[in-house]
Structure 1
Amino acid sequence: MQKSFEQALESLTTPVSCVISDGFLGWTLKSAKKFGVPRFVFFGTGNFSFTMYQILGTERPHAGTNLLDEPFPMPDFPGLKLTRNDFDPPYNDMEPSGPYVEFLAEQMAAAAMSDGIIVNSFYELEQCYADYWNNKYRPKALCVGPLCMAASPPSQALANPSYTQFLDENLAAGEPVLYVAFGTQAEVSAEQLQEIAAGLEQSQVSFLWTLKPKGLGFLQKFEERVNSRGIVVKDWVDQQQILRHEGVKGFLSHCGWNSVMESIFAGVPILALPFMAEQHMNARFVAEEAGVGLRIVPRSGSVRGFVAAEEVERKVRELMMGVEKGAEVRKKVAEYRDAACDAVKEGGSSTRTLDMLIDEVARKRQTFSSGGRAVCCPDGQRLDSDHNRQQA
């Protein structure tokens, strides 16, 4: 892949100015050095989860624990306690090992030698974690989100999909709709999905659930029982279009980071039900750090495990109609929605950071064109100082 990538760069009419690489393609660091251009990495996660995983690996605050659900304090963050189950296997082991751990260590080493981490977030949402990372680790985290702002409008074919009528009718009737989606990667058991369905049915809340129907024998009778109050969409949906619909007032989500950012930008509170990867860390951030959502708790009391219908019902009703916690998260997500909008406006934090990044790349290209070296200084000094001024 590296050879083909470099051949593609060589074939460009205009010389490449920088490489923005998926964080799991560490070999692009060598390609960037070969072409004398800076390399920026993108992992698709937020500052909070990225920082917590880094602290776990470097400082091992969990070393004294005996159980996966035993809380331990996180260094430098008073009051923040996590458990090993907040981290995805194999990183919830005391001594993670194996090919995946070795592979990820190589990617993180390449990231540390790069010129910046591009983060799909905005500074006001994760300020203390972005500052902590930038003061303690390399390379600098550059918050340029929410990136969903850059999404193209839907094509004409998708401009008015069939489910829009359902949303419009509920909006006209004054019935708030809960959007339910768990992403495309997580494998959720049929038993768990059936329990979620029972909770949705018992909640008496209107909902739109996007779901792959394969192997779900209970689905037909479920759809018949909920009738016009809820619909199950079995095809691809435009998630951003749904979240931005005025009638959608809640999002039962797996807490993939893109979904979190899209929901915050739309001003829709989140009901967190994570399944894999860094989703459990994102769920903790949503419910406990940012306060833009609630979290469904498994029957075991752990952050992992089987979720009962009664818990789904209770949390759905609280999110959509609650006058205490539900009202608090609805207010908080509206505040962060406004902050997200401000961040991407002219002069906003994300816009300033992106402008600074582009200016820095342009300076390096000019240096290279005049015969100098375009490679970043090892500590990214100019980028770092500019970035600090932008956030001041």
Structure 2
Amino acid sequence: MGTVASPHFVIFPFMSHGHTIPLLHLATLLRQRFIAVTVFTTPANAPSIRDFLQDVSISIIELPFPKGVLGIPSGVENTEKLPSMSYFYQFASATKLMKPLFEQALSVLQHPPTCIISDAFLGWTQESAEKFGIPRYFFFGMSIFATTLYQLLGIERPHAETTSPDEPFTFSSFPWLKLTRNDFEPPFGDLQPKGLAVDFMLEQGISFAKSRGMITNSLYKLEPRFADYFNQHLGPKSWCVGPLCLAKQPITTDNNKHETWRKWLNNKLTEKQPVLYVAFGTQAEVSAEQIQEIAKGLELSNTYFIWVTRQKVLDHLAGFEDRVKNRALIVKEWVDQSEVLRHKSIKGFLSHCGWNSVLESICAKVPILALPFMAEQHINARMVTEEIGVGLRIMPRNGSVRGFVEAEEVEKMARELMEGERGEGVRNKVKELGENAEEAVKEGGSSWSTLGLLIDDACAGKL
């Protein structure tokens, strides 16, 4: 009898911070189950991946990023470095040129791969997996709620009857949800969607259908109706193995370099001042006028807040830092968001509702003040406020979810979240869901068990 080779999982994240981190957490979880893991990336992304993993037993293979791609400046290997997000689909399509090198690297791996887990935007890896006769699972960094609604929009087309982008419609399977075309990222909410984004997603859709399954960064208890519906009516099979951010060991040391914000928050804790954490991710492009209005609202709200942002945002806010210095801290360097959210003084999160941020907030048991900008963030904001009830929403005055948000609304809702009755309600709900998340990833929990079943499935699926 020959010995059965131990499993070896190949992980290929998309070159974008929010897409990469969850898959590195997954790599860590797989290592804990004694599975060999190899991560593929590009030279410019490799140092931060090594730094993040700090696990020398995980192999990292670097493939050069394609050169001379139209609209992508030389040396740009990550979406954060793109001159504008309008180049996103050019960048994503350019990754296809890495296919021959990826396959060459797979062919010389000493330990043949059991499966490939790659980002949904790297659909071309499906063909590579088929060539090697191994299953491929794709990682879609969205909630099942958002994934389901985006798929159903294309299948059922309930928006076809609407006469304006803000006219509500419902889905036959989820009649309690009121959505508008503006909840979906353009051009997907259009009546006849077309263009680069649509072509790209149709191409990925073909590879989804051929794949072995979808890995979802969520827990079953967070969105059971949607998880069941997806697996019964849409597919391919979804495996809820999250929240993956809980794979990270909390940092206990107090003497590392981000001391300014920690000291400041410790002081607020001593003073018994609840703090609102403000952060809008790294990708959203927000107009100067909108940033000024948000800042004005925070200033008027009289709440204590910590705002993690970039210098180019502050360039639009002359004098703001000085005016709020007695009750706010503006942080311009990278911080560990999970760590900030877990600080005992943080009582709310003004967020763009990127899915990673939503999960980190739930895991830290901090309610969300939703202010979405792009991608599926508007759908996540609906989920957070209307479906799971862990947050409140800042709404534009003109009745459109994509309208301009005024300072008075920011002020009113910041106060409501931090001091109001509705804030108390969502605080209780997020505490309950945060406990569910902790249970899910513990040994014997739903996500823990699902990961075990996924490993079995991958090992059985190798042809």
In the alignment, what sits opposite 2:113?
16
Q: Aligned match of 1:332 in 415, 422, 429?
A: 429
User: What fraction of aligned residue pairs are identical, expressed as a percent?
Assistant: 58
Q: Are the counterparts in 2 of residues 190 and 216 from structure 1 also a CA contact under 8 Å?
A: no
Q: Match of 1:144, as an amino acid?
A: V
Q: Aligned match of 1:63 in 160, 179, 195?
A: 160
In the alignment, what sits opposite 1:378?
none
Q: CA separation in 2, counterparts of 1:99 and 1:53?
A: 17
Superposed displacement of residue 225, structure 1: 1.2
Superposed displacement of residue 55, structure 1: 0.5
Cα RMSD between the aligned structures? Answer: 1.4
Q: CA separation in 2, counterparts of 1:79 and 1:285?
A: 12
Superposed displacement of residue 215, structure 1: 6.0
User: Within the alignment, does 1:143 sit opposite 2:240 as a pair?
Assistant: yes
Superposed displacement of residue 80, structure 1: 1.4
In the alignment, what sits opposite 2:358?
260
Q: Deviations over 1:308-340 (max 9, x none)?
A: 0100011001111112x1111000000000000
Q: CA separation in 1, counterparts of 2:451 and 2:220?
A: 12
Q: Are the counterparts in 1 of residues 291 and 313 from structure 2 also a CA contact under 8 Å?
A: no
In the alignment, what sits opposite 1:285?
383
Q: Match of 1:224, as an amino acid?
A: D
Q: CA separation in 2, counterparts of 1:240 and 1:216?
A: 23
| Worse-superposed segment, 215-224 or 41-50 | 215-224
Q: Deviations over 1:161-220 (max 9, x none)?
A: 311011100011110110000000011111111111111111111000011122644535
Matched residue SS, 1:69: coil
Q: Deviations over 1:34-69 (max 9, x none)?
A: 111111001200000100011100110111101000
Matched residue SS, 1:142: strand
Q: Are the counterparts in 2 of residues 213 and 219 from structure 1 also a CA contact under 8 Å?
A: no
Matched residue SS, 1:175: coil
Question: What is the TM-score of this pair, normalised by structure 1?
Answer: 0.90
Q: Match of 2:385, as an amino acid?
A: A
Q: Match of 1:198, as an amino acid?
A: K
Q: CA separation in 1, counterparts of 2:349 and 2:250?
A: 21
Gaps of 5+ in 2: 1-97
- 4+ aligned runs moved over 3 Å, structure 1: 152-160, 215-220
Q: Deviations over 1:118-141 (max 9, x none)?
A: 001000001000000000012011
Matched residue SS, 1:214: helix
Q: Aligned match of 1:164 in 248, 258, 262?
A: 262
**Taking structure 1 as reference, are residues 86 and 215 closer, same or farther at Cα in structure 2, changes over 3 Å only?**
closer
In the alignment, what sits opposite 2:85?
none
User: Within the alignment, does 1:204 sit opposite 2:302 as a pair?
Assistant: yes
Structure with the bigger RCO (C-alpha within 8 Å, sep 6+) is 1
**Taking structure 1 as reference, are residues 169 and 155 closer, same or farther at Cα in structure 2, changes over 3 Å only?**
closer
In the alignment, what sits opposite 2:288?
190
Residue correspondences, number: 365
Superposed displacement of residue 104, structure 1: 0.6
1:218-367 map, 5 Å: 219-323=317-421, 325-365=422-462
Matched residue SS, 2:392: strand
Question: What is the TM-score of this pair, normalised by structure 2?
Answer: 0.77
Q: CA separation in 1, counterparts of 2:282 and 2:442?
A: 31
In the alignment, what sits opposite 1:92?
189
Gaps of 5+ in 1: 366-373, 375-392
Q: CA separation in 2, counterparts of 1:146 and 1:108?
A: 24
| Worse-superposed segment, 226-235 or 123-132 | 226-235
Matched residue SS, 2:307: strand
